[in-house]
Amino acid sequence: MNRTVYSIEGKELRSIELDDAVFGLPVNEDVIWYAIHNELANKRLGTASTKDRGEIHGSNAKPYKQKGTGRARRGDKKSPVLVGGGTVFGPKPRDFSYALPKKVKRLALKSILSLKVQSDTLKIVEDFSIASGKTKELAEVLAHFGDHERTIVILKDDDPLVKRAGANIPWLRFLSYNRLRAHDLFYGRRVLLLETAAKYLNAFYHPQEDGKDTEQGEANQ
């Protein structure tokens, strides 16, 4: 498919060919859900912890005699039914992370890219950099494509000056073409894809037919 490349002023410049195997797939909602759920699970710290009655600090003495008081039988004051007692089946530190099949994650990311193209929320922008690293200059570029919406910029490399310029913009996120995140990409209201990054994505998610994988950095996916 052909898509328009825009200048940093928001004007049409030329056309670019996007691979239908990357940007023109039917949207698979199931694998998108799996990929987002996996990313959120892997981010969980899993440090929540409670004490059961065996870990509560307190006396083991029987608070009152067994019979004759008319009250329920108590072995100690650490019972879960008493204030200050232990917790029953409370959370303990655990690891929530799990591995997602690589093919599933790749399909999810291609489905999201296709979804953004179909909904016309993905725009291809000519390569640019912010030499000064100032937020003001980057904000002027973003203003030509809408303002104060959750925006994802897909870079062709790790440009530290662009990232520094966007560090103070709360609704802006940067992703590298070879390290896309399904959650950020899916929930972005608009996606700005740099022209060179678009060419890299064509090759990154659609390896050559000779069997040689051109997907550098796939281990970081």
Taking only the tens place, the pLDDT of each residue in 85-103 is: 999 999 999 999 999 999 9
Q: Of all residues in the chain, what percent carry a pLDDT higher than 90?
A: 59
CA distances from 24 to 19, 116, 172, 173, 183 (A): 7, 10, 25, 24, 20
pLDDT of 180 above 90: yes
- ∠ CA 66-67-68, nearest 5°, is 140
Give the CA diameter of the chain.
92
pLDDT of 124 above 80: yes
Here the tokens at position 78 are 């650490």
pLDDT of 115 above 90: yes
What is this structure's pTM? 0.81
Distance of alpha carbon 86 from alpha carbon 57, whole angstroms: 10
Domains of the chain by range and CATH? 2-28+101-220 (3.40.1370.10)
- 148, 171 contact by CB (below 8 A): yes
| DSSP class of 218 | G
* pLDDT tens by residue, 69-87: 999 988 888 989 888 899 9
Distance of alpha carbon 72 from alpha carbon 163, whole angstroms: 64
pLDDT of 159 above 90: no
- 77, 85 contact by CB (below 8 A): yes
Distance of alpha carbon 197 from alpha carbon 175, whole angstroms: 10
User: Strand 172-176 to strand 190-194: parallel, antiparallel, or no bridges (unpaired)?
Assistant: unpaired
Amino acid at 70: G
CA distances from 16 to 5, 124, 167, 174, 190 (A): 7, 9, 30, 22, 19
- 6, 12 contact by CB (below 8 A): yes
Task: Note the pLDDT of residue 209.
Answer: 41
Task: Note the pLDDT of residue 207.
Answer: 60
